[in-house]
């Protein structure tokens, strides 16, 4: 029989009580709600109060149908750190449940972060930036490569690379992605833009879809390239037109002279290397 590939997505199902799970002795049980604590590797940066209230109502009616995955809490004996299921725990508190079902596992930090990520990704509960930040932590703290992440998480390497690129955007733009004003598709169009904040504001103000945002970003980039070429051409023309003038001024004043022209006006820059040269220039200017 050929060996099966081990994917974390498959392993998560087992950890959360699937038929393949091999639990530790006494691992599945019910504990007081206050004995649980948020995980330090929770990738989610924001919990929607509306979604939590909706989940709390479901908990009031049906209870918690899926146990919360935990590991021992290192700060209090008998307490637990949440690995996966923090939303269920928060909803249980809102529903005023005194006890919650848990599955206890002994997990290292690497596995804890992986499982927390994959649980949220599979449920599509993470914002694109929370997902990107989680991947960055795996790469930074546990030496993962994009290829390793793709294998472990079950996504393509280009998909992971595109998510990671979102982290290069300015904080105000990241905030717009976090609160849902910009989608991941919109955000990708902003990467590499000369002024991503202005572009983001225009996309939101005009309520552009992703294709329109990409067209706007391309138009901005094309305009910027044309402006740079025009500026470069003007500089080259200036050099050709003024080189002789700069040469004459340098000979007459005994200093290196530089003429800078911006299309409307400009500056005359004189370079001196000693105070004697500067004194000589002042004497000439004074006649």
Asked if residue 287 has pLDDT above 80, the reply is no
Can you state the angle between helices 128-142 and 157-165, rounded to 10 degrees? 100
Q: How far is CA 205 from the centre of its chain?
A: 23
CA separation for the pair 276, 287 (Å, rounded): 17
Do 38 and 116 form a contact (C-beta atoms < 8 A)?
no
Instruction: Starting at the earlier edge strand, list the strands of the sheet with 99-104.
Output: 28-32, 99-104, 68-72, 80-84, 36-37
Domains, the chain: 8-126 (3.90.1530.30)
What pLDDT is recorded for position 240? Answer: 60
What pLDDT is recorded for position 259? Answer: 80
Which residues are tagged catalytic?
Answer: 86
Convert the pLDDT of each residue in 215-234 to its tens digit: 998 888 776 555 555 555 55
Q: Taking residues 187-197, what's their average pLDDT?
A: 87
What pLDDT is recorded for position 119? Answer: 74
Q: Which two tokens stand for residue 68?
A: 């919360």
Handedness of CA 123, 127, 130, 136 (dihedral sign): positive
Asked if residue 30 has pLDDT above 80, the reply is yes
Asked if residue 124 has pLDDT above 70, the reply is no
CA separation for the pair 92, 58 (Å, rounded): 10
CA separation for the pair 13, 21 (Å, rounded): 8
Strands 68-72 and 99-104: parallel
DSSP assignment of 23-65: PPTT-EEEEEGGGEE--TT-------HHHHHHHHHHHHHH---
Convert the pLDDT of each residue in 244-286 to its tens digit: 777 777 777 778 888 876 666 778 888 877 767 777 777 777 7
Q: Which residues pair with 103 in a beta bridge?
A: 28, 69
Convert the pLDDT of each residue in 38-81 to its tens digit: 988 887 777 778 888 998 999 999 999 889 999 999 889 999 99
pLDDT higher at 8 or 106: 106
Convert the pLDDT of each residue in 182-191 to its tens digit: 988 898 889 8
What pLDDT is recorded for position 18? Answer: 43
3-state DSSP assignment of residue 218: helix
Of 261, 221, 258, 269, the closest CA to residue 237 belongs to 261
- What dihedral do alpha carbons 133, 138, 142, 148 form, nearest 10°? -140
How large is the greatest C-alpha to C-alpha distance in the chain, in angstroms?
100
Handedness of CA 83, 84, 90, 95 (dihedral sign): negative
Do 164 and 192 form a contact (C-beta atoms < 8 A)?
no
Strands 80-84 and 36-37: parallel
Q: How far is CA 122 from CA 101, 117, 271, 281, in A?
A: 21, 9, 65, 75
């Amino acid at each position: 029989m050929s060996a099966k590939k081990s994917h974390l997505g498959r392993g998560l199902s087992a950890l959360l009580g699937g038929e393949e799970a091999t639990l530790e002795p006494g691992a599945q049980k019910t504990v007081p709600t206050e004995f649980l604590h948020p995980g330090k590797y929770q990738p989610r940066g924001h919990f929607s109060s509306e979604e939590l209230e909706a989940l709390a109502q479901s908990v009031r009616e049906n209870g918690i149908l899926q146990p919360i995955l935990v590991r021992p809490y290192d700060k209090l004996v008998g307490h637990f750190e949440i690995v996966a299921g923090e939303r269920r725990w928060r909803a249980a508190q809102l529903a005023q449940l005194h006890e919650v079902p848990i599955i206890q596992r002994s997990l290292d930090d690497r596995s804890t972060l992986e499982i927390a990520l994959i649980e949220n990704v599979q449920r599509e509960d993470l914002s694109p930036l929370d997902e990107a930040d989680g991947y960055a932590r795996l790469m930074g703290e546990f030496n993962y490569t994009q290829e390793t992440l793709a294998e472990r998480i079950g996504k393509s390497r280009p998909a992971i690379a595109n998510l990671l690129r979102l982290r290069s955007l300015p904080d105000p733009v990241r905030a717009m992605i976090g609160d849902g004003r910009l989608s991941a598709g919109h955000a990708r169009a902003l990467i590499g833009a000369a002024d991503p904040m202005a572009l983001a504001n225009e996309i939101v103000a005009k309520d552009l879809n992703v294709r329109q945002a990409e067209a706007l970003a391309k138009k901005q980039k094309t305009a910027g390239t044309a402006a740079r070429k025009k500026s470069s051409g003007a500089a080259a023309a200036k050099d050709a037109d003024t080189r002789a003038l700069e040469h004459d001024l340098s000979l007459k004043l005994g200093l290196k002279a530089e003429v800078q022209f911006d299309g409307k006006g400009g500056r005359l820059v004189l370079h001196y290397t000693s105070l004697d040269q500067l004194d000589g220039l002042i004497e000439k200017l004074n006649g």
